[in-house]
């Protein structure tokens, strides 16, 4: 599955480039926000791994929340979970089991992403609007990125399983 997230064209997915300074700078507020949201609302500690550049053909995990950004910078931040991790984290968040096929599951993932985006927004230091997160569920899906914008992947692990933060942003002229 390929999901278009406010991109110039699908050919953009095939355009390799180095992570921009913007992408690198914006990673810290999102990482901090992820840790804060999971600590307070899910009661788990998040261990942050070594960031790396995501290759153009690499799929995301099984469940992704896409946060679009527009303003002084444009692009997407994706929080992408392994299926098992998503199920366990949603259960801990909602304090009850949630069927991954139900709309409530996407609602819970979306709300987690919404809090992550909101928490990061105040520390970004630029004028930017953040969209309501979209949730994509499906093994091996690809999320298109902006033309000429690389994607930085920050692997994260919790006792419930692994997920990643994918940041792909560039300056808006």
Partner 1 sequence: MKVLLVDDSKTMRSIQKKILEQLGDVEFSEAGDGVEALAILAGAPGAYGLIMIDWNMPNMDGITLVHKIRETDKKTPLVMATTEAEKTRVLEAIRAGVNNYVVKPFTPELLMEKVKATMTRMKAAA
The dihedrals phi and psi of 159, each to the nearest 5 degrees, come to: -60, -20
Beta carbon nearer to partner 1, 7 or 34: 34
Q: Does 95 bind partner 1 (CB under 8 A)?
A: yes
| Site membership for partner 1, residue 108 (CB under 8 A) | yes
SS3 state at 155:
strand
Cα end-to-end span (Å), the chain: 31
Among 69, 93, 143, 170, binds partner 1 (CB under 8 A): 93
Residue 83 binding partner 1, by CB under 8 A: no
- The DSSP bridge pattern shows strands 2-3 and 142-143 to be parallel
Residue partners of 41: CB distance under 8 A and separation at least 6: 93, 112, 115
The site string for partner 1 over 11-50 (x = CB under 8 A, - otherwise) reads -------------------------xx--xx---------
Task: Single out the residue of 55, 125, 132, 148 in contact with partner 1 (rule: CB under 8 A).
Answer: 132
- Report residue 99 as tokens: 């069927």
CA distance 79 to 81: 7
Does 173 engage in binding with partner 1 (CB under 8 A)?
no
Q: By the criterion CB under 8 A, which residues form the site for partner 1?
A: 36-37, 40-41, 93-96, 98, 104, 107-108, 110-111, 114-115, 117-119, 121-122, 132
């Amino acid at each position: 599955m390929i999901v278009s997230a406010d991109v110039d064209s699908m050919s953009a997915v095939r355009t390799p480039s180095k992570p921009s300074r913007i992408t690198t700078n914006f990673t810290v507020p999102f990482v901090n926000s992820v840790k804060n949201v999971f600590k307070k609302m899910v009661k788990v500690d998040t261990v942050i791994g070594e960031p790396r550049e995501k290759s153009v053909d690499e799929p995301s995990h099984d469940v992704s929340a896409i946060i679009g950004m527009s303003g002084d910078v444009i692009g997407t931040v994706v929080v992408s979970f392994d299926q098992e991790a998503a199920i366990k984290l949603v259960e801990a968040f909602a304090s009850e089991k949630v069927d991954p096929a139900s709309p409530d599951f996407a609602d819970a993932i979306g709300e987690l992403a919404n809090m992550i985006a909101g928490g990061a927004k105040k520390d970004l230091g630029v004028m930017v609007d953040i969209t309501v997160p979209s949730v994509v569920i499906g093994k091996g899906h690809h999320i298109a990125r902006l033309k000429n914008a690389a994607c930085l992947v920050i692997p994260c692990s919790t006792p419930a399983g692994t997920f990643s933060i994918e940041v792909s942003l560039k300056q808006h002229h």
